[in-house]
Structure 1
Amino acid sequence: MNDAHQEEQSLFEQQHKVVQKNIPYYDLKWNSVENPATKSTWNWLAFFFSTLWLAYRKMYKPFFIIAGLQLLWAVPFYFMDLTVWLDLPFYGIISIIVGLFGNRWYFNHTNHVLKQARALPEILQDSFIQAKGGTHVGIMLGLHALLFALFFAMDFGLSFIPTETNIKNVVRISGEADTLEAYMDNPKWTYIKQDGRQHVVEFTGYDYTEKEDVRIVFYVYFDKYMYEWNQIYINEKKLNEEDSIDYELYIEENSW
């Protein structure tokens, strides 16, 4: 038992060369379980900062896996009307997974670095461990700049696919749409049809201050990524041109 304990302590001491920063924390966590390679301990920093923490600790494989999942998660939002509130459980699950398994992953990462170092000539081992171990703020920032660039490129590409969701978003993400939704109960956006080069999109809601049902027909020109107000109905009665202009100006003036 003593030999096994000494061997374990010797491994931890070797891992110190890889960890380099915050060594007591990882010693405490890894010593608190029988086998830190298979047993998990909680890491609050990994929970709150997930991919930032992974990149900071140079764990590139789990970083790219989770970053890839985040990119894939965003794709369906361009093809279906999914509420952004779905992001909360998704990113919450990601945070819990990294917080729960982060210390185990890092233990195995340090062992992998040590194994790679032992395969090198002894004169190169310390330099290799120094380079592969420790932390790096620049790498963390660089990888996240790459991740944000990929998100931006994906958004730019997918948002121009003429799906019903993307067509509705031309008007739905505008300041006027935010005002309409704020003033109405049960706001709803519906894709109606394509009429020539324009797409017909309809907004419906209940104006709780005026006690009125509101229906507004928009023409969306997806090729130019613009829209225009077309018809306004209050309690299913179509407004005349002058009243329609006044209503549109009222919404516009109260928009950001």
Structure 2
Amino acid sequence: MALSSDAAASPAGEPDGREAERLFVGRHYDFVRKSWEMAEHRSPKRCWNWYAFLFSFSWLGYRKMYRLAWVVIFAHFFLNLGVDIYTMGEEESQWGAWLVSLGIQMAIALALGFFGMPLYQQHVKRRIADIQAKYGPEQAWAELARQGGTNFWSIFGMLFFWILLAGVVSPLILFFALSLSEAGRRAFPDAAAVPAYSTSPAWSASRERSPRASVTWPLCAQPLKRSTT
């Protein structure tokens, strides 16, 4: 509500620069701006953020970067699902699959921990530019306050959707994949067996009669000497 009153009391001119950023980011803008400035002095742009590292896609949803949050969720889901399907039915590979899944989770968390704030800066600049291009100067103030800020409830929404994927959808897919695999083995019991390499008697007989099989090299009575010319 404070942001809305500030927007209503703002001057009629078009919001620009730091004013637009402060209005769009909302709470903790000073901390966010300091993180952006730290990232500006590094190549590639990066700065560490514990919230992005620990909460991953939930943090993206909290900052209203919904599109990137869905990308991270589904990338995480399909990568882990691929590992589970690849090691399905192999007891000795379960530890390896767990380590690979943990590595995927850590890689995504570290990437967001280092590059989450620069990604948020790009998101803020893009949304401010879109709002200023779509709305007039007076309405832009209100839209920046309405479309910006944070969404606390999206944290629970993202977590619920992830639990649904990992706890319901993934086991169902693995169950059907295992059922199809067992049905395929029952229908084609010899499909997985690799036949041993063998030759027919006719081929062996023709090979023995071949002139190439009886070629011998004459013995050399004198040792070979290296030419000096």
TM-score by length of 2: 0.61
Task: State the secondary structure of the residue aligned to 1:21.
Answer: coil
Question: Per the alignment, do residues 47 and 165 of structure 1 end up closer, same or farther by CA in structure 2, a change over 3 Å counting?
Answer: farther
Provide the residue aligned with 2:113 in structure 1.
Answer: 99
- CA shift for structure 1 position 94: 0.5
Provide the residue aligned with 1:187 in structure 2.
Answer: none
- CA shift for structure 1 position 149: 2.1
The percentage of counterpart residues that share the same residue type is 20
Provide the residue aligned with 1:72 in structure 2.
Answer: 78
Q: Superposition pairs for residues 8-47 of structure 1, below 5 Å?
A: 11-34=17-40, 39-47=45-53
1:48-90, Cα deviation, whole Å (9 max, x unpaired): 1111111111111221111111110132203424421222211
- What CA distance in whole angstroms lies between the structure 2 residues aligned with 1:160 and 1:154? 10
Greater RCO (CA < 8 Å, at least 6 residues apart): 2
Relative to total residues, which structure has the larger strand share, 1 or 2? 1
Q: Superposition pairs for residues 219-230 of structure 1, below 5 Å?
A: none
1:34-59, Cα deviation, whole Å (9 max, x unpaired): 47996221111111111111111111
Provide the residue aligned with 1:62 in structure 2.
Answer: 68
TM-score by length of 1: 0.55
Count of equivalent residues: 161
Relative to total residues, which structure has the larger helix share, 1 or 2? 2
1:106-143, Cα deviation, whole Å (9 max, x unpaired): 11111111111101122321232122211111122123
- What CA distance in whole angstroms lies between the structure 2 residues aligned with 1:109 and 1:37? 19
Q: Superposition pairs for residues 111-150 of structure 1, below 5 Å?
A: 111-119=125-133, 120-150=135-165
Question: Per the alignment, do residues 93 and 158 of structure 1 end up closer, same or farther by CA in structure 2, a change over 3 Å counting?
Answer: same
Match of 1:84 among 91, 98, 101: 98
Does the CA-based 8 Å contact 1:79-1:166 persist in structure 2?
A: no
Does the CA-based 8 Å contact 2:58-2:154 persist in structure 1?
A: no
Counterpart residue type for residue 41 of structure 1? C
Provide the residue aligned with 1:183 in structure 2.
Answer: none
